[in-house]
Amino acid sequence: MSPDVTAPLAPPGIAPDASPGVAHALARARLDALWARGTRFLGCEFGIMGGAMTWVSERHLVAAISNAGGFGVIACGAMSPDQLAAEIAATQALTSRPFGVNLITMHPELEALIQVCLAARVTHIVLAGGVPHVRTASMVKEGGAKLICFAPALVFARRLVKAGADALVIEGSEAGGHIGPVSLTVLAQEILPHIREIPVFVAGGLGRGEAILAFLEMGASGAQLGTRFAASSESIAHPRFKEAFVRASARDAVPSIQLDDRFPVIPVRGLANAGTHHFLEHQRETLARFQAGALTRQEAQLAIEHFWAGALKRAVLEGDVEQGSVMAGQSVGMVTAVQPTAAIIAELVAQAASALAARSLLPV
């Protein structure tokens, strides 16, 4: 059986009497062994993926992550095939290293977007927003790209493995943007011990290397981070957007609230601001108009859904952090400064390696 379909072997331990210098060198070697399956799969130096953030994960940030030894991922979002082709070409002009493209399964031109990725020889395609159709998965794999999918529960993880996914991402509710109901801590316990056939990357609330290390030791092949990179020097996000991240604490990143079960709201985690409060008022007013007969149920649902239309773009590109949607994960509390992407990755790696090295230096 090939190494790619077996659980990673435990790397050798660190001698208890090792000197600090030797301990740190051995710790780096052990860290490299822990995420070796992930780095082989991605084709990068460190098992650190960039989360796909609409309006943020574009050519500059994606190239910066890949150039720093991680794995950048373009967020296609609502791009047209021509727009995506241009973004891929621009990214390739900034880096010769591998990067991926995140596509939304509900995009009306999904197949055309896949063809754009394949024509540009993108090595990895991430399908998000739902379980992809078998035909879609086959198109990716037959075109020569690796397929990465999101698994919100063990039952879906097993289904995706059977459907041909080459790797999975399990993302906890601590993440920014659209979120599921389960924390990464629980998802990791549910999924990591049972999915060994393919690499599994963890995501959601990750802001330090020690946390990444803990999940690697549970069986993860790497980690995906978004919030810390959104506030990096290379991110094109508006300075006010980044400043909001630096000022925020973990408790400021809250999910959107649904007031009535008849009108579902897809939960989105972002920084609480004036727009958050206005959304609650908007829901109350819309519900009152529906109950008074001024709106049909469909009209009321559309009115609620359209409240945030364009709000993310306003926050990211225009710096409207009061009325815009400032999507951020709970790890925002660990964003203490705007840093270069390479410095963020180096810091994460150093934290993980130091945690490993410290174990050998502690008295027994």
One domain, residues 78 and 183: yes
Whether residue 281 sits in one domain with residue 211: no
Residues 57, 146 share a domain: yes
The total number of structural domains in the chain stands at: 2
Q: Is the pLDDT of residue 161 over 80?
A: yes
CB 222 within 8 A of CB 42: yes
Is the same domain home to 213 and 139? yes
- Assess whether 121 and 213 both reside in one domain: yes
**211-242 pLDDT, tens per residue?**
999 999 999 999 999 999 999 999 999 999 99
Whether the predicted pLDDT of 5 surpasses 50: no
Q: What is the reported pLDDT for 359?
A: 81
CATH number at residue 68: 3.20.20.70
Shared-domain flag, residues 343 and 200: yes
Band of pLDDT at residue 19, cut at 50, 70 and 90? low
Residue 65 maps to a domain: yes
273 and 156 in a common domain = no
d(CA 6, CA 9): 9
What pLDDT sits at residue 130?
86
**184 in any annotated domain:** yes
Q: What is the mean pLDDT of the chain?
A: 93
Task: Check whether residue 204 and residue 319 sit in a common domain.
Answer: no
* Non-local CB neighbours of 108 within 8 Å, separated by 6+ positions: none
Mean pLDDT of 172-184: 96
Whether residue 293 is contained in a domain is answered as yes
In a domain, 243, yes or no: no
Q: Are residues 152 and 301 in the same domain?
A: no
Q: Is residue 333 part of a domain?
A: no
* Residue 355 in domain: yes
C-beta separation of 43 from 66 below 8 A? no
pLDDT value of residue 362: 53
Contacts of 148 (CB under 8 A, 6+ apart): 100, 124, 125, 126, 127, 165, 166, 167, 168, 169, 201
The model's confidence at residue 16, banded by pLDDT at 50, 70 and 90, is low
Task: Determine the average pLDDT of the residues in 83-92.
Answer: 98
Q: Given this model, what pLDDT does residue 22 score?
A: 83
Say whether both 202 and 90 belong to one domain. Answer: yes
pTM recorded for the entire structure: 0.91
Q: List the single range of 22-26, 75-79, 88-92, 230-234 with lowest mean pLDDT.
A: 22-26
Structural domain contains residue 334: no
Full residue range of the structural domain in which residue 191 is found? 3-237+339-361
348 and 302 within one domain: no
Assess whether 233 and 296 both reside in one domain: no
- Asked whether residue 32 is domain-assigned, the answer is yes
